[in-house]
A and B are shown apart, each in its own frame.
Chain A
Amino acid sequence: MITVGIDMGAKNVKVVVLGDQGVICRALRPAGLDTDQTARQVMAAALEEARVGRGDVARIVATGTGREDAPDSDETMTDVSCAARGAHELCPEARTVIDIGAEEARAIRCDARGRVQDFAINEKCAAGTGAFTEAMARALEVPIEELGPLSLRSTQAIPMNAQCAVFAESEVVSMIHNNVPRADMARAVHDAIASRMTAMVRRVGLEPPVVLVGGLGRNTGFVESLKRGLTVETIVVPEWPELVGALGAALVARGGA
């Protein structure tokens, strides 16, 4: 059976095509101005790459912020369920799943079968989400993908007073004026997000192992900050962290959610 999961994120649209032997293909594209059109394009491209026709797909499940607008889906499922389902597939021992995307962050506690026990969400405030790292990378004039490696070169922890991304931007600018090393500022940015996430994880209860999914999983500096924040030695980051939600959706489509 072939199923498809489509994740309509705030920033990117992600698609996973799942066959009996596992993932056949994955695709990701910036959502852009016309999310609906982007979604159709990503879907078509993914099916073409997987060499399957629309008629061969048994079921499509949509997730993500814009899931109600997903074209051509049979069912929608929440981000929380899909992140947990996808993370459980990749790491069956996972008990705490942390999902940080462009505009939302979630802490999820699961049982041994990957079922959601409790969760906390921030979808109101950019602090603690990918949007925060983007704003700070702009202020630091560092490409977003270099923010993580840069922070790993930090030699000291410095506090960030502002929680709000807008205020933090001003704070970073004044730190630049005061010649604070950029590596230390980058670390301060990641520590700030990690501290917000740690508070969310505490609300649902921390139970290792911890799996980190979503785009922020790619940020090596943030992973280190989160380890310190949660005081855990390891955090599992899947190979395609930003596609775990779409994978979860495809698994839900296959049934046995």
Chain B
Amino acid sequence: MAEARPEFWRWQERRWRDDTVDPRAGGILSAGVDVGSVSSQAVVMVDGRLYAWSSRRTGGSSPDSAREAMAWALEGSDLRVEDLHFVVGTGYGRVNVPFAHKTITEIHCHARGANFMYGSKVRTILDMGGQDCKAIRCDERGKVVAFQMNDKCAAGTGRGMEVFADLLQVPIDQVGPMSLEVDEEPPPVSSTCVVFAKSEAAGLLRRGWPKERVLAAYCGAMAQRVFALLSRVGVEREFAITGGIAKNPGVVKRIERALGFEAVTGAVDSQIAGALGGALFGHALEQKGRGQR
């Protein structure tokens, strides 16, 4: 057996609940479950108010990941999955959410979620997920107008960043802050492919580059790549970033530098945007259904 190695890529699983909200007060209980390739989130809303959420690492099976995310979000509350009126499944594994009433693509859900999280002035959303990256343009109601995505290549995704965290043996949540500890911005890593970028970075380390500088070069390369994607869809302010990479200031700051303005920030965890959008759709659909009944 190989000895246990520290897992530098491993990010913190999180959950949250607002106990000032009473789920038993008779309001609509809606939920969104976003099963991504790397992480899964569950969001529960009471009458359109955020009640509870969880964010976990996706396991080998999508149905189990969906169930576990929801169970973890509801743990400690009086709610059970069966109590939820309308559940929307989204993300890469959306067709495998056993308790979902409907599936909606993550592009629509992210736009809807970002509209709630960052306000109706948001027109451009950059969702940087585990295995894909999307640039989305939306209107004041969070409705998608146009989008561009990369889901074929690890460059510019969270998975690529995890590979680098492991290579440099830097915990994933410190990659961004460390990459900003450089006096001068180094030229970005020139290889697009993560596999080749790894060799390039190993070469830079051998040449005596400190880790901070190598991370700066990689975060810079990622920002450059994402900027190209954003340029294809066109950036209109306000601009928001969702997904796990939104928590990496090394990438965010460099994207902002390239754009010439800052991304809006919100109080809600950027990784739950998709599931939150799903819960908002769920709420609207339940409301509509009741109106017709």
Interface residues of B in 124-180 (CB under 8 A from A): 131, 152-154, 159-160, 163
Q: A33-B206, A170-B159, A174-B60 are in contact. Are A163 and B153 (CB under 8 A)?
A: yes
Q: Flag if B131 contacts A167 (CB, 8 Å).
A: yes
Tell me which residues across on chain A come within 8 A of B191, comparing CB atoms.
124
State which of A103, A167, A177 has its C-beta within 8 Å of the C-beta of B196. Answer: A103
Interface residues of A in 127-145 (CB under 8 A from B): 131-132, 135
Q: A125-B153, A170-B159, A174-B60 are in contact. Are A165 and B193 (CB under 8 A)?
A: yes
Q: Complex: how many Å from CA A170 to CA B38? A: 10
0 or 1 for each of B98-133: is its CB under 8 Å from A? (1 = yes)? 000000000000000000000000000000000100
Q: Flag if A167 contacts B192 (CB, 8 Å).
A: no
Q: Complex: how many Å from CA A92 to CA B144? A: 58
Of A126, A135, A163, most buried by chain B (CB within 10 Å of CB) is A126
Interface residues of A in 165-205 (CB under 8 A from B): 165-167, 170, 174, 177-178
Tell me which residues across on chain B come within 8 A of A33, comparing CB atoms.
206
Q: A33-B206, A177-B60 are in contact. Are A167 and B195 (CB under 8 A)?
A: no
Tell me which residues across on chain B come within 8 A of A163, comparing CB atoms.
152-153
Tell me which residues across on chain B come within 8 A of A177, comparing CB atoms.
60
State which of A124, A132, A170 has its C-beta within 8 Å of the C-beta of B192. Answer: A124
Interface membership of A58, Cβ < 8 A: no
Distance from A229 Cβ to chain B, minimum over Cβ atoms (Å): 19
Tell me which residues across on chain A come within 8 A of B159, comparing CB atoms.
166-167, 170
Q: A125-B193, A126-B195, A174-B60 are in contact. Are A166 and B163 (CB under 8 A)?
A: yes
Tell me which residues across on chain A come within 8 A of B194, comparing CB atoms.
126, 164-166
Tell me which residues across on chain A come within 8 A of B37, comparing CB atoms.
170
Q: Flag if A164 contacts B60 (CB, 8 Å).
A: no
Q: Flag if A167 contacts B154 (CB, 8 Å).
A: yes
Distance from A66 Cβ to chain B, minimum over Cβ atoms (Å): 12
0 or 1 for each of A234-252: is its CB under 8 Å from B? (1 = yes)? 0000000000000000000
Q: Complex: how many Å from CA A205 to CA B94? A: 41
State which of B60, B160, B192 has its C-beta within 8 Å of the C-beta of A125. Answer: B192
Tell me which residues across on chain B come within 8 A of A167, comparing CB atoms.
131, 154, 159
Q: Complex: how many Å from CA A163 to CA B154? A: 10
0 or 1 for each of A15-36: is its CB under 8 Å from B? (1 = yes)? 0000000000000000001000
Distance from A133 Cβ to chain B, minimum over Cβ atoms (Å): 12
Q: Flag if A131 contacts B195 (CB, 8 Å).
A: yes
Q: A33-B206, A164-B154, A166-B154 are in contact. Are A126 and B60 (CB under 8 A)?
A: no
Interface residues of A in 37-76 (CB under 8 A from B): none
Q: Complex: how many Å from CA A126 to CA B200? A: 13
Interface residues of A in 2-16 (CB under 8 A from B): 10
Q: Complex: how many Å from CA A181 to CA B199? A: 30
Distance from A215 Cβ to chain B, minimum over Cβ atoms (Å): 16
Q: Complex: how many Å from CA A163 to CA B152? A: 6
Of B152, B191, B196, most buried by chain A (CB within 10 Å of CB) is B196
Distance from A218 Cβ to chain B, minimum over Cβ atoms (Å): 20
Q: Complex: how many Å from CA A131 to CA B206? A: 20
Nearest 5 interchain pairs by C-beta: A166-B154, A126-B195, A125-B193, A165-B195, A164-B154
Task: List the interface of chain A (C-beta within 8 A of B).
Answer: 10, 33, 103, 124-126, 131-132, 135, 163-167, 170, 174, 177-178
Q: List 10 A-B contacts (CB under 8 A).
A: A124-B191, A124-B193, A125-B153, A126-B194, A166-B154, A166-B160, A166-B195, A170-B37, A170-B159, A178-B60
